[in-house]
Amino acid sequence: MVNEHALTVSLEEFGLSKYEAQAYVSLIAKGTISAGELAYYADIPRTKIYPTLLKLEKKKLTIISKSKPIMCTAIAPEDAFDGIIHEQINKVNAMNTLVSNLKKASEESRKSRGTEEKRYFQISANNVLTQLQTMIEGSKSSIKIMADQWGFGLLAECKEQLLSVLRRNLDVKVLVVPTQICSESYRIIPDGVEIRASEITQNCFIFDETELLMINNENGKGIIFSSTEILGGNQEKVFSNIWKNAIKTKALADMTKTEAQEIYKIIKTVSELGLMYILNSTMISKKPEFDMFKLLEKNGISLKSKSLDDIIEIMDAIMQITCSGHVNFNAITKNITIESKLNSNHSLPWVSILDGFLQKQGYKTRTIYQNNSNKGEKVHIKISKK
């Protein structure tokens, strides 16, 4: 039951409607069945089943027979979602191309004439830090930063300037490479700065959406664009797109770097590989509740040697990051409560991992689900020794 709900939610995140997701998951589980049977198993109104099947067929996720009664079969997951995987790869390639084009734009701007020649100026490596501190302190509304390890270290030397703008309630957001979570530089950055992690390949500082400072991490030189209609607009879009999918790090702030890196890897693995892995394994596994746990092990993440308290702490941090939720364990009642402020079963993949760990440790589990459209969702796992 846990697995089917998680699959449905994940498919909705891939762009399917609720009925389409329910129908596809039921077809994966049941094989070739009639449209009427599908409506029953997928809990879809009979008046909606035929339009839903036609939409799935158009998306190349099902095959519908022309006979009566109408029979339907799911396209194998590895074939059905191959296009989506390539689409994500193409988006990453497009972003790399954009960065290259931006670099060309800055080089070509040097050849421009008239007022265009005054729109940027270069900064020597010796003056970059001073210039960065000046621009931070002079900001009036917002600062958005993308920084690799070198750029993040440079930002850490601007602690006083960051504190100054935070006292003025400026919005300061930083995207940093995952290896810098809980690093020495990370711990220097003031608490009011919101930091998220993603795969960053450049050092770009955007001030008040009008000024742009880009720094070359190979030679330390910088370039400032003070009028950035095109370049600034593009970088704003790049930042916003990465920010939406980046992983929040606030819940990891008090952990060691090793602990934080492990949690980041768990979230990244489940987010990028979880859906396809479960879809494939559902057809062959008689115990799908273990599939997510096995996925982590296959990707070098072993949780079975950890204590229950360790797992509760890890899952609590993950729930804070992904669902604005928490995990609590009552040692007296032997009851684990997983709370999520988000509905639509966002917590279920993590419930599945926790349940898999418990069963691997020899516990017998009983799971109870509660869903409140206003307060989010809550899952109780009652544990006892087998």
CATH number of the domain to which 187 belongs: 3.30.870.10
The CA distance from 376 to 229, in Å, is 41
Task: Considering only CA atoms, give the Rg of the chain.
Answer: 25
Query: 380 in a domain, yes or no?
Result: yes
CATH of the domain at 316: 3.30.1380
Q: What pLDDT is stored for residue 1 in this prediction?
A: 43
Domain containing residue 20: 2-75
Which sign, positive or negative, has the C-alpha torsion 148, 151, 156, 160?
Answer: negative
Q: What pLDDT is stored for residue 108 in this prediction?
A: 66
Q: What pLDDT is stored for residue 278 in this prediction?
A: 59
Q: What pLDDT is stored for residue 369 in this prediction?
A: 83
Residues 225 and 264 in one domain: no
Q: What pLDDT is stored for residue 275 in this prediction?
A: 62
Residues 128 and 147 in one domain: yes
Which sign, positive or negative, has the C-alpha torsion 178, 182, 184, 187?
Answer: positive
Query: 83 in a domain, yes or no?
Result: no
Last residue of a domain, one of 75, 106, 124: 75
Phi/psi of residue 224, nearest 5 degrees: -110, 130
Residues 142 and 222 in one domain: yes
Each residue's pLDDT, cut to its tens digit, for the chain (386 residues) gives: 445 777 777 777 677 888 998 999 899 888 899 989 999 998 898 888 999 999 999 888 899 988 888 899 998 888 877 776 777 677 777 777 777 777 777 666 655 544 444 456 788 889 999 999 999 999 999 999 999 999 999 999 999 999 999 999 999 999 999 999 999 999 999 989 999 999 888 899 999 887 888 898 888 888 887 655 566 677 888 888 999 889 999 888 888 988 898 999 988 888 877 766 555 555 555 454 446 777 888 888 888 888 888 988 999 999 898 888 899 988 888 899 988 887 666 777 888 888 888 888 888 888 888 776 677 788 888 988 76
Question: Model pTM greater than 0.95?
Answer: no
Query: 81 in a domain, yes or no?
Result: no
SS3 sequence, 287-331? CHHHHHHHHHHHCCCCCCCCCHHHHHHHHHHHHHHHHCCEEEEEC
Residues 102 and 47 in one domain: no
Residues 153 and 175 in one domain: yes
Cβ pair 353, 326 in contact under 8 A: no
Last residue of a domain, one of 248, 266, 285: 248
Residues 105 and 192 in one domain: yes
Residue ranges of E strands in the chain: 33-34, 62-64, 71-74, 120-123, 142-147, 171-176, 194-197, 203-207, 211-215, 222-225, 247-248, 326-330, 335-340, 363-372, 376-385
Last residue of a domain, one of 75, 105, 129: 75
Q: What pLDDT is stored for residue 197 in this prediction?
A: 92
